[in-house]
Every structure is written in structure tokens, then in C-alpha cells.
């Protein structure tokens, strides 16, 4: 299903648009569900497909990305697919080298240390030249999906990418990246602006290639407090929504729903509800009822089962899902985990989660 010979347009007709309708705030018969990292190492077929390949080489292969994106949909009745890729392809497009180190994760060979290092970055990025492989993967996957469910494209948000570029990888404190915000606020804004411009073009390119929704991952929001978030994250998050939408209009492309997922940013829920996104994703540290109360009726919520709940027995997963649905309500809601699936999770428990969302939401809607 992932042959490169299909024409880029003339996509198959969409059969299940539940996810898109919920994202736009329209009524749905059941609550749609997908999982962050649903294409991932918890699936034996994923490990098999990825075995021989370097991680970023896999990301650069449209055929492999298509195959990996489709794998979870062969197993589970998910309501959306998310393209297999990585948020760090954007720093790569800016000219930075990132390698995947086994047991350690993504590692930058030369992280940004001094303000002068910003000069080493490409100041103008041709996203089609640098990230065209993602666009090809999206187009290929739209055909491979055969209209089964919508395809989500995504990007990391500016602060999250900046923190990786300075830390050189994961970090428990983000102290190096945060020190830039305090010591070099102007240079930080310059870097965040550069990232914002690339991300905007990248997301528009994904829609042109066939993405039917977009998610922005501000995965490191929890390292910022309200003040730093207000100054260094939120303005760029807002800007991306606004600019992407105006460019989509200009280029006569579909106005797709956009999701913002700022992990651990409970201090900013109201701001995120008014940041220009149709959907706000929530992590598992927020009570559904409180999120609903704070964010009002005009935004769809997505989340937020603790991923570790999937280690529980299947009956328990069903109970937790029912409670979550009662908390959020079944409408203007997309069920998901509060973060991604872990590699040692049992695929059958993922199936139990997906089925519980469908069964309980249908039951609640009937009664």
C-alpha cells in the first residue's frame, strides 16, 4: 500500500471523519480516539520494520514512514493516523546534526553553546528541499490509508526545539536552555523567531502534501513557569496558528483543524484555549472537569489518560476510560493518552483502551 507511483492528489474519499468533526466541535456518534506514539516500539511489527535502519534514515524514507504509520491501524480501530516522523527534523533542516544514540536517545553532535553559534544555522530554509521527504511520506500515506481515517501532521513547537538544540538532547532540568532565556533574551527571541518561520512553512507544506489536521508539540512547557511561558512560548504558539491559517487561505489549501499540546502547562490552560487552535491536548496531571471549566465550550479537548494506566488489567482500563469520558463529556472531545505510549506496553492493552472509548462513549450518548 506504500508504493511511490501514486499521483500526489486525487486522494481516496474519507470514510471515517469522526476525529475531524470532534476537532471542529461538531456532534459525533462516538468519541474519537488515537494515541500519541501509536506508531512505535510497543508493536513487534514496528521493531521488525525498523530493525535494520538508523532512526533518522527511517524518517527520511517515505515508504517506511508510510508503512509504520499504517501498522497500528491494521490492529486497532483508531479514528486517526499520525505521520511517523520526529520533531527534530526541523533542527536538521536548520543545518544541525542529530544522531539517535541507542540507550540515550537523540543527540546533537554540536549543540548551540554561545550566541555566535546562531550564525551557523541556515537563516532561510527551503522546506521542500530540506523536509520534502516528510511531505512525500504524507502524500504516500494518504493514499495508503485508502480513506480509512484522517492523517495528522505535526511539528515540535519553538521552545521545545530550542531546548533540544541547546541541551544537545534530553535533560531533566533544561538548565542550559533556560539560562539562555535569562542571559540572552534577545538571542533567544531571534532563535525562536527563526524556528517559528520554518515551522510555519513546514506545517503549511504538510497540508499541501495531504495532512488533514496538525498538532504542535510543546513537550517541554513544564520546564517553564508562567512568566517564561508568556514571554518565550505562548507568542510563538499563537503566531504559528495565525500564520499557518492565513497562508492556507492564501494558497487556497484546506483550513485543517490545529491541535496544541503543551505538556505540563496547567498554568496556561486559559491562554492556550484562546491561542487560535481548535483543539487543546492535555496531559494526565489535569482533572477533566477542571480543564473543561477553565477552557470553556468553544474548544475541543484531547487527552488525557495516564499512559501508565495501560499497564493495568484490561477491565481496569475500561473503568478508567469510562471515568475519563464522564469527566470530559463525549462531545467536543478526542480521547487520547496524556503523553505517548511506552515501548514495553502490551498492544492488547492499547486495543482495550481504544475499544473502551468507543463502547463507553456510544453507551453514554444513547443514554
pLDDT digits (tens, 9 = 90+) for 171-224: 999 999 999 999 999 999 999 999 999 999 999 999 999 999 999 999 999 999
Strands (DSSP E) contained in 114-207 are 151-156
Count of alpha carbons within 13 angstroms of residue 56, beta-carbon side = 19
pLDDT at 4: 65
pLDDT at 15: 98
Count of alpha carbons within 13 angstroms of residue 255, beta-carbon side = 11
- What is the C-alpha radius of gyration for the chain, rounded to an integer number of angstroms? 20
Beta strands 81-82 and 98-101, pairing class: unpaired
CA distance 111 to 120: 11
CA distance 305 to 99: 31
Domain boundaries, the chain: 25-307+331-340
pLDDT at 6: 52
Q: How does DSSP classify residue 33? A: B
Q: Distances from the Cα of 141 to the Cαs of 8, 55, 84, in angstroms?
A: 10, 19, 10
| Omega before residue 304 within 30° of 0, cis | yes
pTM strictly above 0.95: yes
Q: How long a stretch of residues is the chain? A: 367
Q: Rounded to 5 degrees, what angle do the CA atoms 180, 184, 186 make?
A: 125
Q: Over the chain (367 residues), what is each successive 10-residue block's mean pLDDT?
A: 66 98 98 98 97 93 98 98 98 97 94 98 98 98 98 99 98 97 98 98 98 98 98 99 98 98 97 98 97 94 98 98 98 98 98 98 97
Centroid of chain to Cα 348: 23
Give the residues across from 99 on adjacent strands. 107
Q: Which CATH architecture has domain 25-307+331-340?
A: Alpha-Beta Barrel (3.20)
pLDDT at 102: 87
CA distance 110 to 114: 11
pLDDT at 5: 55
CA distance 239 to 299: 18
Q: Distances from the Cα of 130 to the Cαs of 50, 88, 158, in angstroms?
A: 22, 13, 18
pLDDT at 233: 98
pLDDT at 275: 98
pLDDT at 2: 78
Buried b (16+ CB within 10 A) or exposed e, 49-62: bbeeeebbebbbbb
Active site residues: 37, 41, 50, 86, 164
- Residues 285/242, Cβ–Cβ less than 8 Å: no
Amino acid at each position: 500500500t506504500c508504493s511511490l507511483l501514486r499521483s500526489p492528489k486525487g486522494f481516496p474519499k474519507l470514510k471515517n471523519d469522526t476525529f475531524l468533526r470532534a476537532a471542529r466541535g461538531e456532534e459525533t456518534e462516538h468519541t474519537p480516539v488515537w494515541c500519541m506514539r501509536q506508531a512505535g516500539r510497543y508493536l513487534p511489527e514496528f521493531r521488525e520494520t525498523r530493525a535494520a535502519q538508523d532512526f533518522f534514515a527511517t524518517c527520511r524514507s517515505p515508504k517506511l514512514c508510510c508503512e509504520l504509520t499504517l501498522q497500528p491501524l491494521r490492529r486497532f480501530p483508531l479514528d486517526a493516523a499520525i505521520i511517523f516522523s520526529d520533531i527534530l527534523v526541523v533542527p536538521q533542516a536548520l543545518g544541525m546534526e542529530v544522531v539517535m544514540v541507542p540507550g540515550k536517545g537523540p543527540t546533537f553532535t554540536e549543540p548551540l553553546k554561545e550566541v555566535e553559534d546562531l550564525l551557523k544555522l541556515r537563516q532561510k530554509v527551503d522546506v521542500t528541499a530540506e523536509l520534502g521527504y516528510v511531505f512525500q511520506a504524507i502524500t504516500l500515506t494518504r493514499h495508503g490509508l485508502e480513506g480509512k481515517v484522517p492523517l495528522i501532521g505535526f511539528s515540535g513547537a519553538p521552545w521545545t526545539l530550542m531546548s533540544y538544540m541547546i541541551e544537545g538532547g534530553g535533560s531533566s532540568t533544561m538548565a542550559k536552555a533556560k539560562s539562555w532565556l535569562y542571559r540572552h533574551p534577545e538571542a533567544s527571541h531571534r532563535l525562536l523567531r527563526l524556528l517559528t518561520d520554518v515551522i510555519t512553512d513546514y506545517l503549511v507544506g504538510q497540508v499541501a502534501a495531504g495532512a488533514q489536521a496538525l498538532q504542535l508539540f510543546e513537550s517541554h512547557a513544564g520546564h517553564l513557569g508562567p512568566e517564561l511561558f508568556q514571554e518565550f512560548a505562548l507568542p510563538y504558539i499563537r503566531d504559528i496558528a495565525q500564520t499557518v491559517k492565513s497562508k492556507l487561505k492564501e494558497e487556497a489549501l484546506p483550513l485543517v483543524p490545529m491541535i496544541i499540546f503543551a505538556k505540563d502547562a496547567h498554568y496556561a490552560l486559559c491562554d492556550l484555549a484562546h491561542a487560535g487552535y481548535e483543539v487543546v491536548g492535555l496531559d494526565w496531571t489535569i482533572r477533566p472537569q477542571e480543564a473543561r471549566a477553565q477552557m470553556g465550550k468553544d474548544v475541543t479537548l484531547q487527552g488525557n489518560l495516564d499512559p501508565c494506566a495501560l499497564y493495568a488489567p484490561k477491565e481496569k482500563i475500561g473503568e478508567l476510560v469510562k471515568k475519563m469520558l464522564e469527566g470530559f463529556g463525549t462531545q467536543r472531545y478526542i480521547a487520547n493518552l496524556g503523553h505517548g505510549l511506552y515501548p514495553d506496553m502490551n498492544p492488547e492493552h492499547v486495543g482495550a483502551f481504544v475499544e473502551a472509548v468507543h463502547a463507553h462513549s456510544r453507551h453514554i450518548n444513547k443514554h
